Amino acid sequence: MPSTEAIRDSLRAVIDPELRRDIVELGMVRSIHEPEPGRVDVVVSLTTPGCPIRAHFEKGVRDAVGRIDGVKLVNVGFDVLSPEEKQGLQARLGRQGGLPQGALAAVKNVVCVGSGKGGVGKSTVTANLAAALAAEGHATAALDADVWGYSIPRMLGVHGRPSLTAERKLVPLVGAGGVQAISIEFFLEREDQAIIWRGPMLHKALRQFLEDVHWGELDYLIIDLPPGTGDVSMTLAQLLPQAVFLVVTTPQPAAQKVAGRAAETAERFELEIVGVIENMAGFTTPSGERFTIFGEGGGQLLADELDVPLLGKVPLQEELRAGADEGRPLVLTDPDAPAAQALFHAARGLIAATPQELPVLQAPSGHPAAPPAAAVTGTPLPMAP
């Protein structure tokens, strides 16, 4: 019979798909017993009684322990972490916003796009990057976390009200190129309504964007952050420790320095910085003459400073701006345009730098495990006052 320690070591192959850590490290293995030869009983502690990814853990444990020589039967039971144990887990993970409930369990990559300051074309880059990823064959969604300056709906050409599933989960609207989208605009009483919210309301809205939306299986969830390093950025960093951070800057030193501060904020929350995109990198006239209106080389300097790749240098191009205003991303309408090519280059760099599979196990007997269900937390988003 295998030792208890050997069984515990095998369980390190069972990964929480949101926290991206194994259940042994997370302290979720409550007990291991071998009541008779060939039989192993394992009890796993969940964060909530109705944990929607319990089936993922059950199949993972059966598969991992079942591979040990001499094991013929694996029984998996569950209990729930006590409030004190949850607090301890949150402290170990550096999380203050609560543990995930499974809503993003089928999302392979969460990418937060930030700039530190406004006016650098971050939302335009986000919309086109999402459309480029979708054009490359990756299931992609865009979450508009810029609650005050929401612009993703306009740039993806998608407006309306989300429907609800039978489990009362919001269904994202589908914009240009098949990109799913969620934005505060979808819940407003009138077009271009001003949002006057303080931190607690923002925090609640962002939690619901993440937990009460039926995101389903995605390769990429691209989150358009607001300028600055305030409430929204901190909330998302606390809720999404598995996310990576993509920095958008323009070439001039002022933008580069502020973008560096945004990157520093991400590093404080131990978010991996996946790369830098330099927008407005230069303007080329029809005759071929090039003007560096916003300077030259700031993106590369920032990438070198952060020791990350410069994923792309997007030139100034009127069609890029016009497409964003009209809800027609340039990467879709004119993929051969210089700006579109630069954005495709950035998208391919992002693909190369991020995992393409969820860290989940196969079920026993070679049958693929069913995708985990999403959490249901109840009430729909409130309307803005």
Cα separation, 292 vs 284, whole angstroms: 9
**Positions of CATH 3.30.300.130 in the chain:** 7-98
End-to-end CA distance of the chain: 64
pLDDT in tens, 287-307: 777 777 776 777 888 888 888
Task: Kindly list the distances between the CA atom of residue 109 and the CA atoms of 39, 186, 230, 344, in Å, as whole numbers in the listed order.
Answer: 37, 24, 23, 18
The per-residue pLDDT for 361 is 34
Cα separation, 166 vs 136, whole angstroms: 32
More confidently predicted of 22 and 239:
22
Most confident region among 87-96, 212-221, 255-264, 327-336 by mean pLDDT:
327-336
Percent of the chain that is helix, strand, coil (3-state, to 5): 35, 20, 45
β-pairing, 107-114 with 29-36? unpaired
Residue 381 has pLDDT above 60, yes or no: no
Q: Is 306 helix (H, G, I), strand (E, B) or coil?
A: helix
Distance of CA 269 to the CA centre of its chain: 15
Q: For 177, which DSSP code?
A: G
Q: Is 236 helix (H, G, I), strand (E, B) or coil?
A: helix
| Amino acid at residue number 236 | L
Cα separation, 249 vs 41, whole angstroms: 53
**Positions of CATH 3.40.50.300 in the chain:** 107-353
Cα atoms in the 13 Å half-sphere on the side-chain side of 208: 19
Summarize the confidence of residues 6-20 as an average pLDDT.
84
User: Looking at the chain, which runs of residues are DSSP E strands?
Assistant: 29-36, 39-46, 73-80, 107-114, 140-144, 173-174, 180-183, 218-224, 244-249, 272-279, 283-284, 290-291, 310-314
More confidently predicted of 136 and 366:
136
Average per-residue pLDDT for the chain: 79
Confidence of residue 157 (pLDDT cuts 50, 70, 90): very high
Confidence of residue 369 (pLDDT cuts 50, 70, 90): very low
β-pairing, 173-174 with 140-144? unpaired
- pTM of this prediction? 0.66
> Which secondary-structure segment (H or E) carries 56?
helix 54-66
Class in CATH terms, 107-353: alpha beta
Summarize the confidence of residues 229-240 as an average pLDDT.
61
CATH of the structural domain 7-98, one choice from 3.30.300.130, 1.10.10.60, 3.30.470.20, 3.40.50.300: 3.30.300.130
User: Which residues face 44 on adjacent strands?
Assistant: 29, 78
Task: Kindly list the distances between the CA atom of residue 223 and the CA atoms of 89, 151, 237, 341, in Å, as whole numbers in the listed order.
Answer: 26, 12, 11, 22
- What crossing angle do the helices spanning 318-326 and 338-353 adopt, rounded to 10°? 70
Cα separation, 266 vs 110, whole angstroms: 14
Say what the alpha-carbon torsion angle 345, 351, 353, 354 is, to the nearest 10 degrees: 160
pLDDT in tens, 39-49: 999 999 887 66
pLDDT in tens, 188-221: 766 666 555 555 566 677 777 777 888 888 999 9
The per-residue pLDDT for 385 is 37
pLDDT in tens, 97-152: 444 555 677 788 889 898 766 678 889 999 999 999 999 999 999 998 877 778 89
Q: For 252, which DSSP code?
A: S
Cα separation, 236 vs 353, whole angstroms: 21
Cα separation, 84 vs 87, whole angstroms: 5
